[in-house]
Copies of this chain bind each other. A is one copy, B any other.
């Protein structure tokens, strides 16, 4: 089928290639003139036959909002936007309502798979009305693995991004579990071969997983991770997961621990720990750092 695709970066570009391999007619736009098929969004809309399907693969936040606003002014009733970026599910629902006032349909799609997706297929999680999702089904089928897996229509508008958000939250928790296990083994004198231990777990164990494979690879390249700093960004989706958990009164201590560990990793110094230090100083009286709660430290005998 024919598809407009806005955003031809690493993700969008690979997706366009996979779709064309599967016989779809992709009309692509990007700010980079070297990779695009048309020179503007207006031209893209013109080139597509109505009812149009336009897939967005642009950065979350303002770029996605601006692109949708521009599209909203160009598309016709019956056209369909598929938002494949990392929008927040609440924004999806608001946008879908606004677009529907103009007769433009909206489906959200969470996409997983990274650089391997071009060849192996992407995980696609979709939210939207059944009719809209059905219309785009050939595209989803082309993008997902040839095995027939890797696809879910999770619910109404927003559900695709919601479950992709939760996927990422789970990913945070799993990564943190491996990270804590690594640190404990690295800290214990008793363990001589930490990389070999992770490598051995890749077969026959409960923790075998793609993340374990990646970790074993990383430790093969750099057995003590000396080339790296313990510094981790967080994507918005980890934060959203915790906030959604709070909104829904769902305890999520492991995922939240993972998020907070990332926050802490980016601090030069911890204001909270300054308070702990200040209080410990205060225990001992003026200009004294001894603590009341540990008399042993205050004895010379």
Partner of A205 from B123, B235, B250 at Cβ < 8 Å: B123
Query: Which residues in window 8-60 of A have CB below 8 A to B?
Result: 8-12, 29-32, 57-60
Please tell me if the beta carbons of B150 and A166 are within 8 angstroms of each other in the complex.
no
How many copies of this chain?
A: 4
Please tell me if the beta carbons of B115 and A190 are within 8 angstroms of each other in the complex.
no
Contacts of A274 in B (CB 8 A): 179, 225, 228-230
Please tell me if the beta carbons of B251 and A263 are within 8 angstroms of each other in the complex.
yes
Instruction: Report A207-222 CB contacts with B as 1/0, cut-off 8 Å.
Output: 1111110110111001
Q: Nearest chain-B residue to A61 (Cβ)?
A: B296
Please tell me if the beta carbons of B32 and A203 are within 8 angstroms of each other in the complex.
no
State A212–B7 Cα separation when bound (angstroms).
Answer: 32
Please tell me if the beta carbons of A284 and B114 are within 8 angstroms of each other in the complex.
yes
Q: Nearest chain-B residue to A31 (Cβ)?
A: B301
State A275–B125 Cα separation when bound (angstroms).
Answer: 21
Contacts of A288 in B (CB 8 A): 115
Query: Which residues in window 188-215 of A have CB below 8 A to B?
Result: 188, 190-193, 196-197, 199-212, 214-215
Please tell me if the beta carbons of B32 and A187 are within 8 angstroms of each other in the complex.
no
Contacts of A169 in B (CB 8 A): 177, 180-181, 184
Q: Nearest chain-B residue to A290 (Cβ)?
A: B10
Partner of A261 from B152, B209, B273 at Cβ < 8 Å: B273
Please tell me if the beta carbons of A196 and B259 are within 8 angstroms of each other in the complex.
no
Partner of A202 from B149, B253, B301 at Cβ < 8 Å: B149
Contacts of A254 in B (CB 8 A): 173, 176-177, 180, 253-254, 257-258, 261
Known contacts being A149-B203, A204-B121, is A173 close to B173, with CB within 8 Å?
A: yes
Query: Which residues in window 243-296 of A have CB below 8 A to B?
Result: 243-267, 269-285, 288, 290-296
State A167–B125 Cα separation when bound (angstroms).
Answer: 31
Contacts of A120 in B (CB 8 A): 203-204
Please tell me if the beta carbons of B150 and A203 are within 8 angstroms of each other in the complex.
yes
Contacts of A206 in B (CB 8 A): 112, 167-168, 171, 210-211, 283, 292-293
Partner of A277 from B202, B231, B264 at Cβ < 8 Å: B231
State A188–B246 Cα separation when bound (angstroms).
Answer: 12
Q: Nearest chain-B residue to A256 (Cβ)?
A: B256
Known contacts being A10-B290, A58-B296, A171-B206, is A222 close to B252, with CB within 8 Å?
A: no
A-B contacts, 6 listed (Cβ < 8 Å): A10-B295, A116-B285, A155-B193, A178-B279, A222-B278, A264-B264
New A-B contacts (17) at CB < 8 Å, excluding given A10-B299, A225-B277: A9-B295, A12-B295, A117-B204, A123-B201, A147-B203, A150-B200, A152-B199, A155-B190, A155-B193, A156-B192, A169-B177, A215-B279, A232-B273, A235-B291, A242-B242, A254-B261, A256-B256
Give the 7 A-B residue pairs with the shortest CB-CB distance, closest first: A173-B177, A114-B292, A209-B209, A9-B299, A230-B273, A253-B257, A230-B270
